[in-house]
C-alpha cells in the first residue's frame, strides 16, 4: 500500500505549465514539478528570468524544462504560449495558474483605498484575475479535448479573510511602508470563485480544478512585519516558499484524483482563529 500511494505523487511523463514561474513561489513550484518527474514549461513575462531558471532545472534533469515568455493578460500571447508547449511536447497535463502582479508602481499599488486609482486597479486585475481566466480558458480547452487534466490556481489567504491592518504598523517591504491593498484581496477572492465554477463546469470532462491558498511567505519584509504577522499565526512564524510545494504536488498529481473545487490552505493556522 505504501509504495502504491507514493507512486500516485509521481509526475513522470506529465507535461506541466507554471505561470508566474520567475516569482518567489514560481521558482519553487517549477522545481518541485521537475523533481516529481514532469516536464515543465516555465511561463512568465520575464523571459530572461525563465530562461535562466530553465537552464538550472535542465542541469537537474535533462530536457525537463523550457522557458516560454508570455503576458498572461494578453489573449494572443497566451494562445502562442499554449501552442508552443503543445507543439513541443504534444499536450498539457497540469496547469499551475500562478501568475500575479504587485504592479511596477509601488506608490500606486500601496495607495490608500480612498485614493486608489481605477487605472491601477484595472492593471492589477488584468493579471491577477483576467490572466487566470485567459490561461485557464486556453489551456482548459486543450485539456477538454483529451478529457484529462489538473488545474491548480494560486489564490491567497486574503482571498478568504481580511488582512489585520494592525500588522502593517511599522512594516516595510523593499524599503517602503506596505499594506495589503483591496485590489489584491478582491482579485484573489475572484480566483477562488473561478476555481469553484470551473471545477463544476469541467468535472464531466475529466478536468480537476483546485486552488492553492498560501498564507504569508517570507520574501524581504522587515523584522517588524515578520514579528507582527507571526504573532497572529498559531505556528508562530511566516512560511518559507518551499513549504507551499507539497500542496501543489498533491493537487497536481493523482494523489488528489478525487479532489476538485477545493481551496487547500497553507497558512500555519492563521485562518483557524
CA distances from 14 to 10, 102, 116, 272 (A): 9, 31, 43, 35
Q: CA 229 to CA 164: how far, in whole Å?
A: 9
Residue 205 CA to residue 151 CA, distance in Å, equals 13
Looking at residue 193, its pLDDT comes to 98
Find the radius of gyration of the CA atoms of the chain.
18
Q: What is the pLDDT of residue 3?
A: 60
Q: What is the pLDDT of residue 2?
A: 55
- d(C-alpha 90, C-alpha 273), whole Å: 46
Q: Which residues contact 71 (CB under 8 A, 6 or more apart)?
A: 45, 77, 78
Note the pLDDT tens digit of each residue in 241-260: 999 999 999 999 999 999 99
Phi, psi of 7 (to 5 degrees): -65, -25
So where are the chain's domains? 2-104+122-161+182-218+239-266
Q: pLDDT digit string (tens) for 197-234?
A: 999 999 999 999 999 999 999 988 999 999 999 999 99
C-alpha to C-alpha distance for 55 and 160, rounded to whole angstroms: 36
Mean pLDDT (the chain, rounded): 95
DSSP SS3 for 163: coil
Three-state DSSP class for residue 230: helix
User: pTM of the prediction?
Assistant: 0.95
Q: What is the pLDDT of residues 110-135, one digit of tens each?
A: 999 999 999 999 999 999 999 999 99
More confident residue, 104 or 95: 95
The domain made up of 2-104+122-161+182-218+239-266 has a fold known as Rossmann fold (3.40.50)
> Is position 258 annotated as part of the catalytic site?
no
Active-site residue identified among 184, 197, 201, 258: 184
In whole angstroms, give the CA distance from residue 228 to residue 108: 24
Confidence of residue 105 (pLDDT cuts 50, 70, 90): confident
Cell representation of residue 166 = 494592525
Amino acid at each position: 500500500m505504501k509504495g502504491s500511494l507514493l507512486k500516485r505523487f509521481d509526475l513522470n511523463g506529465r507535461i506541466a505549465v507554471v505561470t508566474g514561474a520567475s516569482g518567489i513561489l514560481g521558482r519553487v513550484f517549477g522545481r518541485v514539478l521537475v523533481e516529481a518527474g514532469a516536464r515543465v514549461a516555465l511561463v512568465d513575462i520575464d523571459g530572461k528570468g525563465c530562461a535562466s531558471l530553465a537552464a538550472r532545472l535542465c542541469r537537474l534533469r535533462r530536457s525537463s524544462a523550457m522557458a516560454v515568455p508570455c503576458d498572461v493578460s494578453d489573449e494572443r500571447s497566451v494562445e502562442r504560449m499554449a501552442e508552443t508547449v503543445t507543439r513541443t511536447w504534444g499536450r498539457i497535463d497540469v496547469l499551475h495558474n500562478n501568475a500575479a502582479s504587485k504592479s511596477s508602481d509601488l506608490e500606486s499599488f500601496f495607495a490608500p483605498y480612498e485614493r486608489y486609482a481605477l487605472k491601477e486597479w484595472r492593471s492589477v486585475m488584468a493579471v491577477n484575475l483576467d490572466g487566470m481566466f485567459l490561461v485557464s480558458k486556453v489551456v482548459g480547452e486543450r485539456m477538454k479535448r483529451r478529457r484529462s487534466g489538473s488545474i491548480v490556481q494560486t489564490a491567497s489567504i486574503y482571498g478568504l479573510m481580511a488582512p489585520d491592518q494592525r500588522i502593517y504598523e511599522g512594516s516595510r517591504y523593499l524599503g517602503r511602508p506596505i499594506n495589503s491593498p483591496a485590489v489584491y484581496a478582491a482579485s484573489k477572492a475572484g480566483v477562488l470563485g473561478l476555481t469553484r465554477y470551473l471545477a463544476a463546469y469541467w468535472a464531466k470532462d475529466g478536468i480537476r480544478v483546485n486552488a492553492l491558498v498560501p498564507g504569508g511567505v517570507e520574501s524581504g519584509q522587515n523584522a517588524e512585519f515578520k514579528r507582527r504577522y507571526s504573532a497572529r499565526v498559531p505556528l508562530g512564524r511566516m512560511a518559507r516558499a518551499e513549504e507551499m510545494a507539497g500542496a501543489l504536488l498533491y493537487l497536481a498529481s493523482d494523489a488528489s484524483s478525487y479532489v476538485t473545487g477545493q481551496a487547500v490552505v497553507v497558512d500555519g493556522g492563521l485562518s483557524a482563529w
